[in-house]
Amino acid sequence: MNHNANVVTEQLTAAGRAIEHDSFAIIDAEAGPHAYSADQWPVVRRMIHANADFEFNGLTDFHPAAVEAGLAAILKGGTPIVADVEMICVGLSASRLKHFGITTHHFISDADVIAQAQAEDTTRAVQAMRKAHRQGLLDGAIVGIGNAPTALIEVVRLIKEEGARPALVIGMPVGFVSAAESKDLMAEVQDVPWIVIRGRKGGSTLVVAAIHALLGVAEARQRNAA
């Protein structure tokens, strides 16, 4: 392997690395000109790579400080990732997270979360985000939401009304009820950086792809600084 290349955030075999790099080259060629910065494009490209949908070239929107905030949180070490669903936590590479000392957290299936959602007639996703905030996990965290629009709407409320300050919110819930609206709400927030997909499209795999892209850029910075 090229010793000037990433190690932790790359595929583990030469064949796997070649396929991934060839895929990225194809995406670069087919995407053509775009409006993303050199720091933003690796995130969008990996999202396209995750499901072969070039519409994310355009639908993906960034707070001006999003990439730098995400990289700072990763390079700091020990940053929590708070997800709306277990699928995000399972989808993230354990070895890549371990390299940066990152922990993952999700509360959607916790008994107390379910009970509180039933008692208050809200969603489990809302209560899961409230639980994360009560535990002090949201401040300084990377928050990844790929499934539940109500979770993203609650994160916006927690930011505005209760002073929650995540390092970065990756808001990409998929769906037909409140999904587009939840992302538009997040994109109105100025005090907390965000990455969103406009409209109905989204999903946990795209949150995972965005985080993996940031981990890759973070490793390159870490290596170049060594």
What does the pLDDT look like over 46-80, one tens digit per residue?
A: 999 999 999 999 999 999 999 999 999 999 999 99
Per-residue confidence band for 180, with pLDDT thresholds at 50, 70 and 90: very high
The pLDDT tens digits of the residues spanning 86-137 come to 999 999 999 999 999 999 999 999 999 999 999 999 999 999 999 999 999 9
Provide the pLDDT for residue 1.
42
49 is catalytic: yes
**CA Rg, the chain, in Å?**
17
Which of 3, 21, 34, 49 is catalytic? The answer is 49
Q: How many CA atoms lie less than 13 Å away from 189 in the CB half-sphere?
A: 34
Cα of 116 vs its chain's centroid, Å: 26
**Residue 82 parent element (H or E):** strand 80-83
pLDDT in tens, 206-217: 999 999 999 999
Which residue has tokens 């940031």? 214
Cβ–Cβ < 8 Å for 175, 151:
no
In this structure, the number of other CB atoms found within 10 A of the CB of residue 52 comes to 9
pLDDT score at 54:
97
Percentage helix, strand, coil for the chain under 3-state DSSP, each rounded to 5: 55, 10, 35
**CA dihedral of 22, 28, 31, 32, whole degrees rounded to 10:** -140
Confidence of residue 201 (pLDDT cuts 50, 70, 90): very high
What is the reported pLDDT for 4? 63
Q: What is the pLDDT of residue 7?
A: 72
Q: What is the pLDDT of residue 8?
A: 74
Query: Considering the entire predicted model, what is its pTM?
Result: 0.94
User: What CA–CA distance (Å, rounded) separates 41 from 47?
Assistant: 10
List pLDDT tens digits, range 1-48: 444 677 776 777 888 888 888 999 999 999 989 999 999 999 999 999
